[in-house]
Structure 1
Amino acid sequence: MDTKKNKKVIVIGLDGATPELLFKWAKEGKLPNISKIMSGGSWGNLKSTYPPQSSAAWTTFFTGTNPGKHGIYHFLRRVPDSYDYAFNNSKDNSATPIWKIVNNNNKKVGIMQIPLIYPPVEVDGFMVTGLTTPGEASEYTYPKELKKTLKDRGFRLHNSVPYKENNEKEYLEDLYDTEKRKVAATKFLLKNYDSDLFIVVFSGSDQMQHYFWKYMDDKHPGHDPARHMQYKDEILHYYQTADGWVGDILNDIGEDVTVFIMSDHGGGPVYKDVNFNYWFQTLGLQEIKKSRRRKIRHLLIKKGFTMVRLDAILKELGLLDFARKNVPEIIKKKLLPRGDALSEIDWSKTKAFSFGNLGLVYLNVKGRDPQGIVSPGEEYEKLRTFLIEEFLKLKDPENGTPIVENAFRKEEIYSGPELKNAPDIFVATNMIYREYMRFSNSLVQPLNDVKNVEQRLRVSGQHRQHGIFIARGTNIKKNQFIENAEIVDLASNILYCMGLPIPTDMDGKILSQMFDENYMKENPVLYEEVSVEKEAKYEFSADDEEKVRKSLKSLGYLD
């Protein structure tokens, strides 16, 4: 056995890759490259963060810390001393990213399209940002001149054709074209830039599961056999194509390089929307502002008439661009409801609200929130206990299915200096239910009902708690199934494979079951204190924020 430590590591991220799909198809021989890596290495399910969402999960991956330390719970963050929100960016991460640790140990990095790393930071090596980059005009590389080098070779930052029914072919052609260009850029960068740690993330698997789950799921309320047969195997086709990309990329690296393939979370179907803010109103814990204009707006909402629905109808009729240009903005803003829950709340009479459509529940606390009415201490704790108990009783009125799998006090799942900004309660829904932030006239409503124009245009799949993890290297056991791996573990294990000390503030554990026992005896795990250097704050411009909003909304991260 070669006990020399593998100094170089490559990580291939397949955003949203799902164990129930990837491992099944690999064992069936449909993913030959990934199957070969599994048989030659260790693999297993990878538990994500709470919530299992890309912003929190990828930040936990590259910092090795829980959200209570890095402070990213969602793509959005609450603005201090207000009820407003802003979009997170790379400077909002409060923990030390792995590339800085690697650089501090005189090794080079290559970072390619991890979500939530825009704007790029200076590194010894290079960085290309990913999801939450506003657009092609943005300065999305370090060094700056790398952008031109990549664009000259055909690289595109994101796919640009939005998904909707009836344009599946155009969407898929654009997605595959964009991903193929990323593969070419990855191979170019591996060949021309020396990197001790190289990380690349492909987002197509997540997109495919968001949009195409209903095509292969005949139980989905949005499934239409007559229309969807053509694309029922499209998710499998993407996985098979990505398997080819993995093989192509790994053909260019040496056998002594340790390989990690991972995802930030899994995926599965979503059948219904659930609206916790509506539920809080029925419990008397949330009040809506009162005025004649708002009464009209809420009447329209109760009748199901919102700007979201109107946009969907106009889009189907081909009149959306015309309406946006010709309907005065004052009419749209003052009368037609967007259904934005937070903007309509009477905070002086509200005790609880949900923020960000991921089960993030906040209490309106005196001394913390501008118009807080819940006293810290006994009242706060009693209300949290009451809500958790009631959440666990919550049933779908149509069929009695439990809506919530679990509900946690923040200190039960998070720890660290950013705990102060965590939601007071995190609610893990039964994953066929997706929380819907906008105002509604019911607790639960079908998602992607084929008879409903507005719903039909939305995503049909959402995230699951477990993603995938595969590792192959000289000192990693072959064909070894790994239990209890978590995304927070990966940074520590990557550093160990590189022969580098692990910062003491990382929360992950060494996955000792995947390493050769003699190797571990001869190479004890080393730890070191690392000081956290806070980045200077950065704020998106209004124009860039709108671009990020549209991108996240198209994937179902925002309502």
Structure 2
Amino acid sequence: MGLFDRFKSKAAKRAVIIGLDGTPYTLVRRFIEDGTMPRLAELAGRGSLLQMDTSVPDISSVAWTSFMTGANPGRHGIYGFLDLQPNSYKIFFPNSKHIRSATLWDAVGKTGKRSVVINVPSTYPAQPLNGTLIAGFVAVDINKATYPQELVPELKRRDYRIDVDARRVQESHDALMDEILTTLDRRIKTLLWLYDSQQWDLYIGVVTETDRLQHFFMDAIFDEQHKYYSAFKDFYSKVDRFVGEIASRLRDETMILMSDHGFTKIEQQVYLNRWLVEHGFLKLKENARSIEDIAAGSLAFALDPGRIYINTKERFPDGIVDKADSSKILAEIKVGMSEITAGGASIVKRLYERDELFAGDCIDSAPDLCIQSVYGYDLKGAVNKTQLMDREVFTGMHTQDDSTCFINASADEIREGKPHITDIAPTVLAAMGIEQPPGMDGRSLFRNSGN
């Protein structure tokens, strides 16, 4: 059976999702056109390759949780890699136990079908399911990252790596590139081993090395003379061969290839708490290290990436803003931040108030305002900066409107309109003949789907 004889039929009941963390649609298109990704080019020629929107904020913990639940953060409760404890300025790291919505594999498991879920961020610690799960970022312990535990000895024998050790950049960029390539190699071998050896109806395998490459080397791909230009393209050639390996194994499964957000070059990092301090909205204790060092008299503060919170009396222990006055403070911040410029142009693309983005039982923990920047200006929540903008070690930043979505279905099978990351789970359920649960906000990409 040839590669293109393997495309799905409407009766297909198994599904494969390959995640390429942070891979932009525009980069995929470029690599298809210049021959870097010939296998994906073949797939795209017979399927549908689409540009996709992701979550706001466009950070992996929010985006991957929105993918796995088909829900907005107001339902699933994850707003960032860092969040605030209730009625407090104390920071905590949300993990899989904080997700308030059921996952795609929960829905699949309820029908008696099995899932294999490998390296999806925000699934740590691994929760029991009908199948196999190896958690991704920010997993720290392979034992707690793996369900069932019987897989752990073999993972160790294979020297499986949960993530790239980004600290290698402190040695050199050469050392970091070697680390990225080695981790990619171990990842691909493990993904293929589990694809072949496990029983499954739904297979999800995520490559996160794409994101790590782009955070540190995104500038390389825009400059043919850059030291790492060829290495960047060679990396994606390896990813393309992996995609081809999966495609060659397909029978009649639905296959989706997706990313959780896009990427672009960083021009400057923008420190929103610095702006709030300079404009009298935020006061910090001396030598502040985090927002836990907020001082009395503060009206608002920011968390990564581009989240603004009004310091209200009803929500925070040292809040000074009455609920009735919060909209006025918010309006002042919106006007002021929309006027932040670089090179004579605004760095703000759009500002969203809470109810424009979020709905659900978890909305009370949502930020009051989310700011989306134009490409090149990475919004940060650091409190220890003395200037509004600078550049640090990263050369690449996330984008919200340039995620990748490929599905091995023809264009006439796919409904009109730009897909959203919350649409992936309903699409998979429709392909598997499983009814979409009521807690999902997305809708199937199939034109004639019942979901």
Equivalent residue number for residue 327 of structure 1 = none
Aligned equivalent of 2:306, options 355, 359, 377 = 359
- TM-score normalised to the size of structure 2? 0.93
CA distance in 2 between counterparts of 1:506 and 1:23 reads 30
Distance change (3 Å), C-alpha of 1:504 and 1:480? closer
Q: CA deviation at 1:341?
A: 4.2
CA contact (8 A) 1:55 1:115 kept: yes
Equivalent residue number for residue 450 of structure 2 = 525
* Alpha-carbon displacement from aligned partner over 1:40-68 (angstroms, at most 9, x marks no partner): 11121010100111000000001000111
Equivalent residue number for residue 174 of structure 2 = 169
Equivalent residue number for residue 351 of structure 2 = 407
Q: CA deviation at 1:351?
A: 0.4
1:468 counterpart = 2:404: yes
Q: CA deviation at 1:170?
A: 2.5
Q: CA deviation at 1:370?
A: 0.4
Q: Secondary structure at the match of 2:256?
A: strand
Show the 5 A alignment for 1:198-213: 198-213=203-218
Distance change (3 Å), C-alpha of 1:234 and 1:344? same
CA distance in 2 between counterparts of 1:173 and 1:276 reads 34
Q: Secondary structure at the match of 1:164?
A: helix
CA distance in 1 between counterparts of 2:166 and 2:172 reads 9
Q: Secondary structure at the match of 1:61?
A: helix
Q: Secondary structure at the match of 2:169?
A: coil
Equivalent residue number for residue 321 of structure 2 = 374
Q: Secondary structure at the match of 1:349?
A: coil
Distance change (3 Å), C-alpha of 1:478 and 1:64? same
- Shifted more, 48-57 versus 479-488: the winner is 479-488
* Alpha-carbon displacement from aligned partner over 1:321-358 (angstroms, at most 9, x marks no partner): xxxxxxxxxxxxxxxxxx52424321x20001001x20
* Alpha-carbon displacement from aligned partner over 1:389-431 (angstroms, at most 9, x marks no partner): 22222223xx222121111111011111111100001111223
CA contact (8 A) 1:108 1:196 kept: yes
Q: Secondary structure at the match of 1:484?
A: coil
Distance change (3 Å), C-alpha of 1:161 and 1:509? closer
Q: CA deviation at 1:71?
A: 0.8
Q: CA deviation at 1:165?
A: 6.9
Amino acid at match of 2:294: I
CA distance in 2 between counterparts of 1:438 and 1:46 reads 33
CA distance in 2 between counterparts of 1:59 and 1:2 reads 26
Amino acid at match of 1:486: H
In structure 2, the gaps of 5 or more residues are 1-6
Show the 5 A alignment for 1:33-72: 33-72=39-78
Amino acid at match of 2:76: H
CA distance in 1 between counterparts of 2:151 and 2:396 reads 35
CA contact (8 A) 1:212 1:234 kept: no
Amino acid at match of 1:370: P
* Alpha-carbon displacement from aligned partner over 1:13-59 (angstroms, at most 9, x marks no partner): 00001111111211333211111111111121010100111000000
Distance change (3 Å), C-alpha of 1:389 and 1:487? same
Q: CA deviation at 1:180?
A: 1.6
Equivalent residue number for residue 444 of structure 2 = 510
Amino acid at match of 1:373: I
Distance change (3 Å), C-alpha of 1:37 and 1:103? same
Distance change (3 Å), C-alpha of 1:186 and 1:2? closer
Amino acid at match of 2:313: K
Q: CA deviation at 1:82?
A: 1.3
- Shifted more, 144-153 versus 103-112: the winner is 144-153
1:459 counterpart = 2:394: yes
Q: CA deviation at 1:184?
A: 1.7
Show the 5 A alignment for 1:279-428: 279-289=275-285, 294=286, 297=287, 340-346=289-295, 348-355=296-303, 357-377=304-324, 379-396=325-342, 399-428=343-372
1:235 counterpart = 2:232: yes
CA distance in 2 between counterparts of 1:177 and 1:482 reads 40
CA contact (8 A) 1:89 1:117 kept: yes
CA contact (8 A) 2:168 2:179 kept: no
Distance change (3 Å), C-alpha of 1:190 and 1:232? closer
Equivalent residue number for residue 540 of structure 1 = none
Q: Secondary structure at the match of 1:435?
A: strand
- Shifted more, 161-170 versus 19-28: the winner is 161-170
Aligned equivalent of 2:20, options 10, 14, 36 = 14
Q: CA deviation at 1:376?
A: 0.6
Q: Secondary structure at the match of 1:512?
A: coil
Q: CA deviation at 1:99?
A: 0.6
CA distance in 1 between counterparts of 2:289 and 2:189 reads 42
1:435 counterpart = 2:435: no
CA distance in 2 between counterparts of 1:442 and 1:59 reads 33
Q: Secondary structure at the match of 1:172?
A: helix
Q: CA deviation at 1:249?
A: 2.6
Q: Secondary structure at the match of 1:371?
A: coil
Distance change (3 Å), C-alpha of 1:480 and 1:416? closer
Aligned equivalent of 1:145, options 129, 143, 150 = 150
Q: CA deviation at 1:80?
A: 1.2
CA contact (8 A) 2:81 2:93 kept: yes
Amino acid at match of 2:335: E
Q: CA deviation at 1:481?
A: 9.9
* Alpha-carbon displacement from aligned partner over 1:352-400 (angstroms, at most 9, x marks no partner): 1001x200000100121101111012x111111221122222223xx22
Larger Rg: 1 or 2?
A: 1
Show the 5 A alignment for 1:475-494: 476-477=410-411, 483-494=417-428
Distance change (3 Å), C-alpha of 1:264 and 1:3? closer
CA distance in 2 between counterparts of 1:162 and 1:249 reads 31
* Alpha-carbon displacement from aligned partner over 1:427-458 (angstroms, at most 9, x marks no partner): 1122311223132222223x1xxxxxxx3xx1
Aligned equivalent of 1:250, options 247, 250, 253 = 247
Q: CA deviation at 1:271?
A: 1.2
CA root-mean-square deviation: 2.1
Amino acid at match of 2:394: V
Distance change (3 Å), C-alpha of 1:230 and 1:3? closer
CA contact (8 A) 2:86 2:365 kept: no
CA distance in 2 between counterparts of 1:139 and 1:344 reads 32
CA distance in 2 between counterparts of 1:400 and 1:341 reads 31
- Shifted more, 410-419 versus 277-286: the winner is 277-286
Identity of aligned residues (%): 27
CA distance in 2 between counterparts of 1:52 and 1:189 reads 30
Q: CA deviation at 1:495?
A: 0.2
Q: CA deviation at 1:480?
A: 7.5
In structure 1, the gaps of 5 or more residues are 219-224, 298-338, 448-454, 514-519, 527-559
CA distance in 1 between counterparts of 2:190 and 2:399 reads 30
- TM-score normalised to the size of structure 1? 0.75
Equivalent residue number for residue 259 of structure 2 = 263
Distance change (3 Å), C-alpha of 1:48 and 1:4? closer
Q: CA deviation at 1:238?
A: 1.6
1:120 counterpart = 2:126: yes
Q: CA deviation at 1:7?
A: 0.4
Aligned length: 443
1:495 counterpart = 2:429: yes
